[in-house]
Every structure is written in C-alpha cells, then in structure tokens.
Structure 1
C-alpha cells in the first residue's frame, strides 16, 4: 500500500527501465548506423547527428529523440540520409534489428517479477517500441509469461506521453488507474502516468537524471530492483 491506496498493478516501460538503456542500445545503435551508412562516413555522421548519437563516445546524448521515440519517428529522422530507403522498409529493418539486440537487464528480472506477482500484483509493459520487438525481447530475457499485458506504439492504444495506452492496461486488468504505478526512465513515461491518474516512479537506468524525473515522480529509484522496498515502505 502506498499513500493509503493499495497498489494492484504495475506498468513498466521497457528500454531504460526493464533493460539498462546505455548498456543495451549504445553499441547496437553504432552498429546500425555503420550498417546503414555503408562505408559512407558523411552519411553515417549525418544520421548520428539526427539521432543525437555521439559516434566518438559510442553513446546517445541525453537529448536523443530515440530515448522515448517510436520506430516511425526514428525512421523519419534517418530517411533524409537514406534516399534508397522507404519509410515502411526502414521501420521494419529497425524493428527486426531491435528484436535481436543483446539486452542488459536493469536488475535480475525473474526473481523481481515473480516476487511482485506473488503479491497478487498485475504486471504490464507499455513501450514506444513495437509490440513485436517487445515480445521478442521479453521472451529472450525469459520473462514474457510473467506479464499480463504487453503493448507497443502499434498495438492500437497510442503512444506515450498520451495516457491512452496506460489506461488500456488499467481497463484490461479491471483496475482503477489510481491503483496502478507507472514505472519509467523518461519524462514521457511519467507525463503519461500523471495524465492517466496513476502514481509514477522514475528510474535512473535510462538517460534522464533525477532533476529531470523528480518533478513528475512520486519517487526516483536507482533501478527497478528497489521497487519492492518502495512498495513496502
């Protein structure tokens, strides 16, 4: 129970929340940009700049639109440098490559999620990635079956920061929004949670810092491994 209202459901963002953003996506992004650039350094550099990706450091900048963006938004940023590609083809390419990314969990996921389920909590994932990628990645991490609800930006509920996909989880689980906690690493996640009437938790395994998340969060945790302690406090 938190603030006098029992918590009955937890909705997680995926990248930067369940999985450490930098450890998972920095190396992946550099490989994708190199592959798409096809040995044209100027093209690779232009795409990296569009994504706010520092090629020398091999890392996204905190300002990157990729952090909370959809595949369609990322593809739109890349297309000006890829005249031979179509938007739908590029989106599919990004989705397929993302599904094969080497994921780095932000905390040991199986014991954490099994413990939360053991408390009777309903668990969900809402990501601005595709549902296909989310399911593939969660399956690869061995936790797909531990979630009651999985949605991407293409699942028919919309994308964050709109509250609609969060409210879809609450409806699917027959839970009042105020009994759900939205856990995320970006302001998009927390803005969506606040708009949905849910409590919000920020985590520091993405690119945002405490100063970015604190104004929109009931609490900011180092990572999701601290969630059981927060629930019990």
Structure 2
C-alpha cells in the first residue's frame, strides 16, 4: 500500500532525544531546586534522571509521557509547588530547549513533500512547545498538522490524535505511516491502522521497538529508502 501521509513524533524522532532533552532536564531540575541539593536528588529520582551522567534512564516514566505527567512526578518531590505551577514552568522552558535535529530537517521534509506526501507532528508534549520548537528549527510551515496532548485529540498511545491527522489531511490510515522512537508511538499507530516505523534516536532500543514496528530505522533520514522499497 502506498504511503501518502506521514505523522512524526517530535522528541526522539525529529529531534535527537538525548542531545535535546537531557540538557534541558538538568537545567530544569537545577532551576526548580534553587540550589537545594536534597531537592535536586529527589526530583532526579522522581523522573529517573541520572545526575552523574546527566541523562534520563531508559525506564524514565516521562520519556514518552505528557507534560502534565512530568509535572505530576516532579510535584511529588516539590510539595511547596503545585502541579499547575510546575507544568507552566515546564511548558515555558521546553519551548526554549536546545534543539538537536536528527537530520537536516528542512531538506528532508521538502523531499518528502515533493513526493506529494502530507506531513504532520503529534507529540505528547504541549502544542505550544511543539510549534515553538518547530519554528525555531525553521520547519513549522512544512507540516499540515501539529498537535500536542493538549490539542483536544488525546495523547498517545491512544489512536485518536493519529486519526485526527488522517481526517485533517484527507488520507486513510491504511495509507499513512506513524514514525516514532517509543512504543507509545508505535502502539498508537498500530491501533489506528497505520504502518509503523521505529527510529533509534530516542531512548528505546531496536529490541523494544521491533515487536510493534513494520521496520526499525537508525533515524528518519532512512525513510526515503523504506518508501522506495515498498514500491
């Protein structure tokens, strides 16, 4: 079946997860701790962040979670701050996260669009952050659809936001591919009736992604070859 539309996850897919979000997470933890070493350790433990390596652990619950879920985990270590206050801080800070594109995005996306493929982004981050980051990377206008967990369609691994993309661009799920770095992305894609592609620019390994994916690729730059092989 030809692919006429591709929906991308954002973090760990369009942008390398470690190079972008490990740096950001350490900065946020330090900001919220305000110099309190005990709070720093408590927050790092709450979100499974290794302070020595400055890296999320592979089993961190926030890697594929929503902004709200991350705030709820951190709130357990910050009893003097509300979940809403922490969530607002995360939203503002994430919009300014240091971006590390997995590939040169403008060139890559333009090549897909030249094939007539409709493009979208669905992230469990906020739509505000997604638009800010895609704008900062100079590719906001390449996408026909951009949604976060707060856009009114739900969050992955539910298929609803993926089906909203198909409705928005007028392409059947069976002619659409979902691309992501987590099982949340791929489970959602399978549930929506889409082709599923895993990429290794996030925290999950090939052995974790493969049971849910039609193919596991090193990064999104290999998608054109995968498309060519389907012809």
TM-score grouping bracket, smaller chain normalisation: over 0.9
Aligned residue among 85, 91, 94 for 2:87: 91
2:49 aligned residue: 53
Structure 2 counterpart of 1:138:
134
**What's the TM-score, normalizing by structure 1?**
0.97
Among 172, 183, 199, the alignment partner of 1:176 is 172
Write out aligned runs for 1:32-47 (5 A).
Answer: 32-47=28-43
- 1:223 and 2:205 matched: no
**Cα RMSD (Å):** 0.6
Structure 2 segments unaligned to the other structure (5+ residues): none
- How far 1:65 sits from its partner (Å)? 1.1
Query: In 1, Cα distance between the equivalents of 2:219 and 2:76?
Result: 36
The residue aligned with 1:114 is: 110
Shift of residue 141, structure 1, vs aligned partner: 0.1
Instruction: Tell me by how many angstroms 1:123 deviates.
Output: 0.1
Superposition map of 1:1-233 within 5 A: 5-233=1-229
Instruction: Give the TM-score of the pair, scaled to structure 2.
Output: 0.98
Count of aligned pairs between the two proteins: 229
Shift of 1:80: 1.9
Give runs of ≥4 in structure 1 deviating > 6 Å.
none
Supply the distance in 2 between the matched residues of 1:30 and 1:89 (Cα, whole angstroms): 18
Secondary structure in 2 matching 1:104: coil
SS at match of 1:81: coil
- Of 76-85 and 50-59, the range deviating more from structure 2: 76-85
Q: Aligned-pair distance for 1:198? A: 0.3
